[in-house]
Chain A
Amino acid sequence: MSWSKLIWLFISFTIPAFIAGQNVTYKFIPPQYELEHLKLNNTEDPGRLYDITEDRQGFIWLTSNKGLQAFDGNHTISYRNDSKLYKLTSDSSVHSLYAFTKLPDGSLWIQEENSRMLHFDPVKRKLTESFTGDAINNELIYHIAGSNDGGLFVFTVNRAKRTIAIWKKSPTNKLLPVYQGYMNPNNYYTYRIAGDYHWIIEERGITQISLDGKEKKQYNIPTSPNYNIDSDDQGRFYFAGADQETIYTWNEEFKNMVVFLKIPAYLKGKGFDFLIKGNKIFFGGNLSLFIINREDKTIQDLSQQFIELAKKEAPNSLGVLFMNFFLRPDSSLLVCTQTDIYRLKKKTPLAAQYLQSVSPVKNITSILSFRALAEDGRKNIYASFYTGIAKQNKGESAFLPMDVEKYISGEYISTYSLSYWKGHLIWNNVSIDLSSGDHTFITGDKFAGHCTQWLQHDTLWLYQWNSSELNCYDLLRKKLVVYPIDRRISANNNSIGEMNDMIVDGSGQNLWISSSDNGMALISKKGKLIRQYSAGETGITENTVTDLELNQNLLWFGCRNGLGCLDIGTGKTIIYKDPYSINNSVLHDRTVFSILPDTTGNYYLGSSYGLLWFNVASKQFYHLPDNHPLAHVEFNRGAAFKSSDNRYYFGSTDGLYSFTSPELGFAVTSNPIKPVKLISISIFDNKVGAYQYLSDELDGLNNLMLEFYNNSLELSFSVPEFYKKVYYSYRVKGLSESWTEYKPENKISLYGLQPGRYQLEVKASTGLNDVNASYFSLPIVMKQVWYKRPWVILLFTSMAIVLMITYLRYRFNQKIKRQKKLADLRTKISSDLHDDVGSILSGLAMQSQMLAYTAKEDQKKSLLEISNMSRDAMEHMRDTVWAIDSRKDKYENLVDRMRDYAEKNLALRNIKHEFTITDVDTKKFIDPEKRQTIYLIFKEAITNIVKHSNCDDVIIEFADKKNCIQLLIRDNGIQKEIRNSDGLGMSNMKMRATKIGGFLTTKYENGFIVELTI
């Protein structure tokens, strides 16, 4: 190192130290902060807390001797080895967890008491890996730290070898040596990574080592073993000196240690932990809590508050066991003890800070309700109240009541408007000369009731409520002109009752007026209506418009729904609403009573429920903290005023409030709360009678598939919200479309769920309403019992149908078989009978024929007749058997029989014949009765030809003519007389034909024709 550098080091170190060594005087100021206890609301004992951090989703994590706690601001759950639902590791024994090391990817390394390191993913809520000190040859793991590039470093101590070492964890869980040094067994060691360096802090000094371990620098600045080390998010590194009086920091610019703060002597030994936030140092210990402001040299002592709060939460403890400070990403500061967490927040101002002091008014003991204000040329402020005016002289704080009794006469004692004009105070309708005290009634001769004023230069426009008269008063000439107000403005042509405001329009020629019952209108200065804007047109409720504020082409107005804006050019109106709820009950519309522009062009709004600030550009409402004294005040109409020194006054029913802009800390309306997170599912398995638990990687759950025996489940949700209570509501689509009421309960239990598809929807809100609510949705599918599944039902149904069909077919076939059997039996019986009888008849025929050969001539004929009769009988029997034989039920069988008969019988008389078949499907079935009837008709016809005709040729045609069957028998014989027997035969044939639905015709046409049509 060069001499110049050495000198520079000496100077840069000693001079600040010298300066710091001077007894800088810090003064104590009343605490501007207060502690708020954040209840952990844990169902299980979280144990003794050791460290705290926050994940990317906004959940706070705490290590303890009982495991890992997840705190969302309303509930705490414990991830422990002995937990079934939130199991941390596969071990059954519980080990203490110590320090967190948070990596850039958001994952956490946690030091466990048995030198094991756990890698935990707080988003997935899952342990991803772990390793122990055994991996590095019995080195004792002291500390772990993460670098900005995501590297994990482990600091170890080996007392046997008297070495300390820094290791870097490789992706394969190997620990690679980075640095090794000598260990003094009597020293304590602390290790940090800050910026791009390893820092090993021991009592005798600090060692700074580059991340790769190649460069090392020693600083012989003894540190305090009792003080914590801090490093901020800028990578700056702080540590306390052994004198417990100095806090040092590493200055990257000078590449040196410099003094950051000389701790006030009063605080020496009173704390052991600190957190640096800008110029503020938060300094704490078991019984102390201080805020040191380096800039204004102040100290705030919150120790008493700290002790009282801590004792209240742990009354039996011997003291407050301070753990550390934690700065959240939203810049709020948490003070952590070993049992509790407190939030440090700015103190709520008292109402007295804003409430104007008003000296007592004669005969009035109640709180004054203030209306209009004015300021005179000497910057005195005048504030009107119902029975008088109070005056605040310039430079004074209190308002003193003026003597105005002499002005008040008549029956009306009220106030609404107040203006200042050239040494005069104009109150309602009376003009008061402030120097002489004389007064003039502008209208009438006595003090009027509510009046609305508009002062334009030296002209006062005045409307007395319910008067229907617009008064134009020349203040210089003291001349009054009265114009009747257009009666069309108010409904039913009545006078305007409550005119809330009156201002000149952009041209200066007309007046905008607003009223409680008639909305707003543009009138001429002579009272004529130019344009009216009704409730239906503007969308306002009850047609009530309060205050008016003209901004170029936009007319802003107050109404019961909120803040309205009329675009004068287009005539379109937009209402900006800002509903509120009291104690998180139902929402109410917030009425805006007064609009007061600030110095930035935005508006302060006096409303029915608190003071608001409205950003005209973003159209957003900003609110005061819920416990701010101005957050819930009901302000009056026409009671907003800005003084020349930029102080804002708002009159209310509870007094007069004033403030300057820096005194109020508005915040935009609560952002939508963070997303709802599903943190656990407990599913009851009816088959085994036990629960199945799911508590990790639930963010990635797209749907929940359940078996039919998992019909009871419980789901837990969490939303990180540390300022307000969170309420949950849900519905299960498929069971009901209705949402449940909002409740703080974050568990949903579903019992006896039936198979089917459902959609679980959950919403969370900080109010009992859907304003800024956060939504969650999860499809749930419960599989049907196997025997109720569609494909199984289909299969069973199909099988049942098949079985039914098979059974019916079997029955049918059995029936057919029976019928066939019966038919066969019938046929067999008849044919057996025919056989037996036929044999007898055949024998008889042969016998008689044989006898005829040897008989005498006179006996031959009789014997031959017997033979023929026997054969005829056989033929008849054969016809009968044929008729009932079901095997002969086709057209071809009928045709064969007819052919056979024709051939045999016509041949006996040598009659030629021709038998033709046309379009008859011979394979087609024919009804047995029809078959028999057609054959008998045919047989009769042929028999007639054989017996009676003199023909020698017969044509037989059997045709299927689409819609009928036709049988035509035509001979070429000469017509003979029809004998009785012929006639009888014909009538039989006709009767047979009719019986089967046909008809028979006979005619003579070059031969005898018999035609059967069916």
Chain B
Amino acid sequence: MEKVKVSLIEDNKVIRENLAGFIGLHEEFESGVIHESAENFLNSFIPETSGQTHILLLDIGLPGISGLDAIPLILEKLPGINIIMLTTYEEEDVILKALCSGACSYISKKASLEEIIEALRIVAKGGSYMSPSIAREIVNHLMGGRVSKATILTDRQREILQKLVDGKSYPTIASELFISVETVRTHVKKLYKVLQVNNKTEAITQYMKGQIR
């Protein structure tokens, strides 16, 4: 089984070294490139090495180009990469911006190393995490405050989104919808994909083209 390559952009040396070290302790993961700034990552981008990264752990508060601004630049070079935002504390509008820019998930630095590894596993499996507050922001941002207006989402996605807004946990949602938790996480990740489109028309177009399934 191919190892999931995880790269890291973090300006704090202690976090950077420890995180990279801890990731390296797990056989399923492989450390990728590690930089302290987005510029360094982009400037030293080598497709053979940097291009093989599956998951990028990206700090928001970076010197120079911020993590938020770096997302589209990175996606341009690595369109298929999964970007997980590293947040000091979970600012919904910042996270939403990151998700709309192309990040697929987020995790707090306050989380334990195990929790961080767990998040890497979920994303590697194609899922993502969404808190109720993030879910509400998505509904307000994309759907004018009402889930029912989200005509570009599938019924299932609307269902999951509504339950997330209501504050239900993933296991609860999975239980109520008779699906697995991983399926819930997968749907969440797809919801994030929808966010990455700038307007509804483009979203519909993307949807019709099958780019959003």
Contact = CB atoms under 8 A, between A and B. Distances in A.
Interface of A: 831, 834-835, 838-840, 842-847, 849-850, 853, 867, 871, 874-875, 877-878, 881-882, 887, 892-893, 895-896, 899-900, 903, 915
Contact of A850 (B22, B89, B93, B169): B22
Interface in B1-48: 12-15, 18-19, 21-22, 25
B110 A878 contact: yes
Contacts of A915: 167
Nearest to B21: A850
Interface of B: 12-15, 18-19, 21-22, 25, 61, 88-89, 91, 93, 109-110, 112-113, 131-133, 136, 167, 169
Chain B CB within 10 Å — which of A843, A844, A845, A846 has the most?
A846
A893 B25 CA distance: 38
A874 B87 CA distance: 12
Given A850-B113, A875-B110, A878-B110, 15 more contacts: A831-B89, A839-B12, A839-B15, A839-B109, A840-B12, A842-B12, A842-B110, A843-B13, A843-B14, A843-B15, A847-B18, A853-B25, A874-B89, A881-B89, A892-B136
B108 to A, nearest CB: 9
A846 B22 contact: yes
B167 A846 contact: no
A309 to B, nearest CB: 110
Nearest to B109: A842
Q: Which 9 A-B pairs have the closest CB atoms?
A: A843-B14, A842-B109, A846-B18, A838-B88, A896-B133, A878-B89, A874-B110, A850-B18, A843-B15
Given A831-B91, A838-B88, A899 B113 contact: no
A472 B55 CA distance: 155
A896 B25 contact: no
Given A843-B14, A846-B14, A850-B18, A838 B109 contact: yes
A680 to B, nearest CB: 79
Contacts of B25: 853
Contacts of B89: 831, 834-835, 838, 874, 877-878, 881-882
Contacts of B113: 846, 849-850
B194 to A, nearest CB: 22
Nearest to B169: A903
A839 to B, nearest CB: 5
B19 A846 contact: yes
Contacts of A850: 18, 21-22, 113
A850 B169 CA distance: 30
A893 B169 CA distance: 17
Nearest to A838: B88
B18 to A, nearest CB: 4
B61 A849 contact: no
Contacts of A831: 89, 91
Contacts of A887: 93
Contacts of B133: 892-893, 896, 900
B110 A896 contact: no
Contact of B88 (A842, A867, A892): A842
A839 B113 CA distance: 14
A839 B88 CA distance: 7
Chain A CB within 10 Å — which of B13, B61, B110, B133 has the most?
B110
Contact of A896 (B15, B93, B131): B131
A867 B18 CA distance: 13
A877 B108 CA distance: 14
Nearest to B172: A914
Chain A CB within 10 Å — which of B21, B61, B89, B131 has the most?
B89
Nearest to A898: B167
A12 to B, nearest CB: 122
21 contacts: A831-B91, A835-B88, A838-B110, A839-B88, A842-B15, A842-B110, A843-B13, A843-B14, A843-B18, A846-B15, A846-B18, A850-B21, A853-B25, A874-B110, A875-B110, A878-B89, A896-B133, A900-B131, A900-B133, A903-B169, A915-B167
A871 B112 contact: yes
Contacts of A846: 14-15, 18-19, 22, 113
Contacts of A840: 12
A387 to B, nearest CB: 127
A924 to B, nearest CB: 15
Nearest to B133: A896
Contact of B14 (A847, A874, A875, A881): A847
Chain A CB within 10 Å — which of B21, B22, B88 has the most?
B88
Contacts of A899: 132, 167
A834 B22 contact: no
A887 B25 CA distance: 40
A721 to B, nearest CB: 91
Chain B CB within 10 Å — which of A831, A850, A892 has the most?
A850
Contacts of B13: 843
Contacts of A838: 88-89, 109-110
A844 B12 CA distance: 11
A887 B93 CA distance: 10
Nearest to A895: B167
A895 B132 CA distance: 10
Contacts of B112: 845, 849, 867, 871
A882 B16 CA distance: 26
B201 to A, nearest CB: 28
B200 to A, nearest CB: 23
Nearest to B110: A874
A496 B112 CA distance: 137
A893 B133 CA distance: 8
B18 A839 contact: no
Contacts of A878: 89, 110
B37 to A, nearest CB: 14
A471 to B, nearest CB: 124
A183 to B, nearest CB: 109
A843 B12 contact: yes
B85 to A, nearest CB: 14
Nearest to A915: B167
Contacts of B131: 896, 900
Contacts of A853: 22, 25
B79 to A, nearest CB: 30
A844 B110 CA distance: 10
Contact of B61 (A839, A871, A892): A839
